[in-house]
Amino acid sequence: MKITDIKATPVAVPLKPSETKSKMRKGPNAVIAVIVQVFTDEGYMGIGETPAVLGLDLSSAIVNSARQVLVGQDCENINLLMKMLYVQYNANHLHMHVANWAFSGIELALWDVLAQRAGMPLYQVWGGAFRNKVEIIGVIERQESAGMERMARQMVKEGYRTLYTKIGMDPEDDIRAVAAMRTGAQDPAVKICGDANQAWSTGEAISIINRMEQYGIGWIEQPVMMYNLDALKHVRNHVNVPILGHESNWTMYDLVNVIKKDCVDYVKLDGRFDAGYNGVRISAGMAEAAGIQCVHHSFFQLGIALAGSLHVMASCPNFSMASSMSEYRSMLDDVIVGGPLQMTHSPYMEVPQGPGIGVSLDEERLQIYYEYYIKEILEPGYERETENPYYTAMYMRPYLKAMYGGK
């Protein structure tokens, strides 16, 4: 079965109106992504989704340029094809992470084709399921303490057992935020988790985490810079709160060093950001061998990538912890047939059971949200500012504030 064409379509899908707006996003309250379609000579069409980390123009350009490598190739040789892409683009000095982000959508679309052809859900192609539903972390966006307390109370009422927010801004404000979440979540079995996004120095991390310990912290994510594994290990050795690595273990090649250093208690993985979907499954196996539990990173994605994430978690035994997908419930719509996937029993989301990734592309919705992207994101100039992880860092580090004009 040969690949005949690859198509990349940028989209922006609006979220429900909210009283609080994320400090991570500027412009319209929307999720933006590139939808990837892979066409074959047997009539199968697979779909994937690429994140908009460095702007949809770059992601779309990389996906479209992959056509010259992949068209005419046998789409059953997925691992070989992905290696061909990585060799091609790393040889051209494109940073590996940038390539991973763009190529993840192509890889998922290829797996979708293969599983459709086999007539089974993707997790069965990967060897079967360890679970048919996954627990979801309740994400609370940063806001005033009263709002965080109210949201925590509401999420616990809905059944969430793990709550998560962004930290790494002002230390005193971070501690107030965590305290407010604990006030709202009185049950000590409910864990409070925070993502520092590499914001702190070693000393700051130790001091702040130790002050937060009293609030029943489940884990603190990436407290120090991603490549400073000695600092990460030093922090872990001087706090009683579990440490979760994310940026430090973006790819399987990074994870090797994290395991050698023994510097984390958990790792967070994501097929969109890490080493692709097969790479994440390899990383999960490496973590399992090292006795490290995995959490899935699923921040601001549409239903195509969400479906891919659910299949990954179904097929890997040590994704037993919750996945941060609760913001998906804020979607007004989606580009898949039937609209957004639903949580049938909060806080769990069921793994799609149809052939392939279990969701289908709605061509009419795709066109609608392509046009919305042009009108609301690209033309006003928000293209590079919506859902950019470095935008978070602008709130955290004064030198980055200065670099970006103090905005």
The mean pLDDT of the chain is 87
Give the model's pLDDT for residue 397: 45
181 in helix, strand or coil?
helix
pLDDT, tens digit (0-9, with 9 covering 90-100), for 113-170:
999 999 999 999 999 999 999 999 999 989 999 999 999 999 999 999 999 999 998 9
Question: In CATH, which of 3.20.20.120, 3.40.50.800, 3.40.50.460, 3.40.1350.10 is domain 127-350?
Answer: 3.20.20.120
Sign, Cα dihedral of 362, 364, 365, 370: positive
Rounded Cα–Cα distance for residues 122 and 24 (Å): 32
User: CB-based contacts of 96: which residues, under 8 Å, 6+ apart?
Assistant: 86, 90, 251
What's 3-123+362-403's CATH class?
alpha beta
User: Under a CB-based contact definition with an 8 Å cutoff, are residues 223 and 200 in contact?
Assistant: yes
Query: Residue 93 — φ and ψ, nearest 5°?
Result: 65, 25
Least confident of 30-34, 184-188, 197-201, 319-323: 319-323
Using DSSP bridges, classify how beta strands 45-51 and 243-245 pair: parallel, antiparallel or unpaired: unpaired
Using DSSP bridges, classify how beta strands 45-51 and 133-135 pair: parallel, antiparallel or unpaired: unpaired
307 vs 377, which has greater pLDDT? 307
Which residues lie across from 296 on neighbouring strands?
Answer: 269, 323
User: Under a CB-based contact definition with an 8 Å cutoff, are residues 250 and 273 in contact?
Assistant: yes
The arithmetic mean of pLDDT across residues 352-365, rounded, is 97
Q: Is the pLDDT of residue 398 over 80?
A: no
Domain boundaries, given as residue ranges, for the chain:
3-123+362-403, 127-350
Residue type, position 361, single letter = L
Give the model's pLDDT for residue 181: 98
The arithmetic mean of pLDDT across residues 224-248, rounded, is 96
What pTM value is reported for the model? 0.90
User: Under a CB-based contact definition with an 8 Å cutoff, are residues 113 and 136 in contact?
Assistant: no
Q: Is the pLDDT of residue 89 over 80?
A: no
Give the model's pLDDT for residue 392: 41
Sign, Cα dihedral of 309, 314, 317, 319: positive
Q: Is the pLDDT of residue 399 over 50?
A: no
| Topology agreement, domain 3-123+362-403 and domain 127-350 | no
pLDDT, tens digit (0-9, with 9 covering 90-100), for 6-54:
999 999 999 887 645 455 455 567 888 999 999 999 999 999 999 876 6
